[in-house]
Structure 1
Amino acid sequence: MVVYLDCNATTPLEPAVQDLMVRHFCEEVGNAGSRTHEFGLQAKKVVQVAREQVASLVGSEPSEVVFTSGATESNNIALLGLAEYGQQTGRLHIVSTAIEHKAVLEPLEVLERRGFEVTLVPPNLDGFVPPERVLEAVRSDTLVVSVMHVNNETGVIQPINEIAAGLEGLAAYLHVDAAQSFGKVVDELRLPRIDLISASSHKIYGPVGVGALIARRRRYRRPPVEPLVYGGGQERSLRPGTLPTPLIVGFGLAAELAEKNFKARHERCLAIRSEALAALGNLKISLHGDEARLVPHVLNISIDGLDSEAVMLSLKGLVAVSNGSACTSASYEPSHVLKAMGLSDAEIQGAIRLSWCHLTPDFDWGELVRRIKSLL
């Protein structure tokens, strides 16, 4: 059996989530927008339960949760949706980082073409973006600061807490791409100074195709985000379209289980990391990312003298790993994250990402090391 070690790309489905979704796909028929009969009212009710489950995980109000197709759409709504307000108020400056996911960087490129100025703050060699650099880049005309919480390639936790604290009293909105941290790094996402949070269900053992944008009120006012599409008025008109009830209830249960089982999952992932590092210590590896700031389920490494494609080929049939973001790995372009960190070309070409979860079965890390050693 091939062991799946690419959980940063997408996670396995929790069995309880699957069972609930099957019931709603096959038995619980109803459109949450249909208010004239019990089927529609029941669909609306379970969607509201899911909204409460998602909100609870980040300490927000259920009314602040907008369901989307995933974090990519949420990022686009958060950033492109603020453009009109920025143009009306003359706040045409945006601060972000050089290690953001393409789902943030590409919308920022669109905004640049529309006349916005974007400052991308670089990370240190260890993949950490110092909060003082982010805050120093903020100006009086800054519309939004957008910083990911956990980097998808390195697993480094970014200083959201310090950035949020430094923005207190300033007008700039704070957007956090929490695709990799929602349900995994819990407390910081509950900071009330975070205005906008993007999340995906399929990163927390829920279904693919659903996520959320949490838009917190500040002094009772919702961030002035405009919709990108129109028609129907669902999700407070910010994201219209028929709600995918089975996906939403699956996402809701996944969020509830993430909150309930956080500690046990965290400890399981730490145990796997200890096994991995002990075995990989027999190789000459470079770890990309400050180990003290890593989430417990990700390692990004290079093996001296080896190309990542050769390593992945040697591991075929044993484990499934990645050499970058799942959204861009097919392009074979060097990782923009590792380039921004200042790694050498050899380290970038050799980098592989191992990412696991509490559902990952035990397996022989020694065999993984033996296969890689056969290449040396």
Structure 2
Amino acid sequence: MSIYLDCNATSPIEPEVVEKLTQYLTIDFGNEGSHTHEFGSTAKKAVQEARDNIVSLVDASRNEIIFTSGATESNNIAILGLKEFGIKNNKKHIITSTIEHKAVLEPIEELKKLGFEVDVLPVDKSGRVNPKDIQKKLKEETLLVSIMHVNNETGIIQPIEEICKVIENNDCFFHVDGAQGFGKEIDTLKNKRIDLISISGHKIYGPKGIGALITRLRNYNKPPLQPLFFGGGQESKLRPGTLPVHLIAGLGVAAKVAKRDLKKRQTKNKVIFDKIMDLIKNLKGELNGDTKHLLGNCINFSIPGVDAEAFMLMTKELISISNGSACTSSTYEPSHVIKSMTNNEDKIRGALRFSWCHLTDNKIPVEEIEKKLQNILY
């Protein structure tokens, strides 16, 4: 059976999360908005507990979180939700980077069509944004800076702390797409200069279809977001609709376990990291990105002369991997992330992403995979 090494696309689910999901699907299935009976009260308590577990990872309070369907929706609310404020206050300048997820780049592109000025900053071969570039572009009219926490294709941690220092005296809003880093690298997202954080359940061993947007208070005021759709008063009227209690409870457990088991998970990931690094070395692979900034659960590399699609086809019975974001895989276009890091067409076409986690199956050792791959390629 193929070893699953595509955890950045979606992660396996934590057993404790499955238990909680089942409980709120089959037993405690009440509507959180029903205040007249015990079922509703039980559901409301579960949602509040989940809020507390999630915000504890970013040092926020329960009134600073909005539940969504995932990081894509959270990103859209964070970006498009600031449109009216930007127009009203003549703050129509946005700074982002070339390596952001499409769920950030495309909403920003929509604002550009409406007359917003957008600076899309490049990265170098290390795969990181340079905070000095942000400093150069920052101005009084800057509405938003949107830079991801950890890149989904390379696993490279971005210099969020340094960016916070650069913008500390500017009143722009700082949005961080935290889908890949939330619950895995905890301290950074606690920085109070970060106004908006997008997270996704199925990236931290929770259920698909649930995520959240952290809307951190500034001087006791929430970011001036407007809803993208309407139909109820849920989630501070910012994201209407009946709350999926089972998914929220599952996400809450996923966050709680992420905090509890952080060190244990990092230890397991380091073992797999070392094995895969040996594999890459023996395959004469070239890394895409600077290893000293890796989160530790993802590696992107290219093998000279080997096309990524051909590699995946040849090895699909051994390992399940990808060559980029699952959200854009249907287009079969070269990765915009790797293209922003290098002009080498061979590296771009050959880019492969291995991503794993503490639940990665070890029944087939990486050493055995290495041996089989060498037999195929050489």
- TM bucket by the smaller chain? over 0.9
Q: Deviations over 1:147-170 (max 9, x none)?
A: 001000001000000101111121
Q: Which residue of 2 aligns with 1:365?
A: 366
Paired AA for residue 216 in structure 2:
R
Q: Which residue of 2 aligns with 1:320?
A: 320
Query: Secondary structure of the equivalent of 1:115?
Result: coil
Does the CA-based 8 Å contact 1:125-1:343 persist in structure 2?
Answer: no
Report matched runs for 1:156-195 at 5 Å.
156-195=156-195
Query: Secondary structure of the equivalent of 1:176?
Result: strand
1:320 CA displacement = 0.3
Does the CA-based 8 Å contact 2:342-2:348 persist in structure 1?
Answer: no
Does the CA-based 8 Å contact 1:164-1:194 persist in structure 2?
Answer: yes
Q: How many residues are treated as equivalent by the alignment?
A: 376
Report matched runs for 1:78-227 at 5 Å.
78-227=78-227
Query: Secondary structure of the equivalent of 2:57?
Result: helix
Does the CA-based 8 Å contact 2:275-2:367 persist in structure 1?
Answer: no
Q: Which residue of 2 aligns with 1:305?
A: 305
Using the aligned pairs only, state the percent identity: 51
Runs of 4+ in 1 over 4 A off after TM superposition: none
1:180 CA displacement = 0.4
Normalized against structure 2, the TM-score is what?
Answer: 0.98
Does the CA-based 8 Å contact 2:300-2:352 persist in structure 1?
Answer: yes
1:371 CA displacement = 3.6
Q: Which residue of 2 aligns with 1:247?
A: 247
State the distance in 2 between where 1:39 and 1:26 align: 12
State the distance in 1 between where 2:31 and 2:48 align: 13
Q: Which residue of 1 aligns with 2:276?
A: 276
State the distance in 1 between where 2:280 and 2:99 align: 26
Q: What RMSD, in angstroms, separates the aligned Cα atoms of the two structures?
A: 0.9
State the distance in 2 between where 1:343 and 1:368 align: 30
Query: Secondary structure of the equivalent of 1:58?
Result: coil
State the distance in 2 between where 1:93 and 1:359 align: 42
Higher deviation after alignment, 84-93 or 119-128:
119-128
Does the CA-based 8 Å contact 1:93-1:116 persist in structure 2?
Answer: yes
Show structure 1 runs of 5+ residues with no match.
none
Higher deviation after alignment, 56-65 or 277-286:
277-286
Residue 375 of structure 1 pairs with residue 372 of structure 2? no
Does the CA-based 8 Å contact 2:284-2:303 persist in structure 1?
Answer: yes
State the distance in 2 between where 1:119 and 1:370 align: 46
1:144 CA displacement = 0.5
Paired AA for residue 367 in structure 2:
G
1:309 CA displacement = 1.1
Report matched runs for 1:22-41 at 5 Å.
22-41=22-41
1:369 CA displacement = 2.5
Q: Deviations over 1:266-291 (max 9, x none)?
A: 11111110111123211211100100
State the distance in 1 between where 2:254 and 2:41 align: 23
Paired AA for residue 353 in structure 1:
R
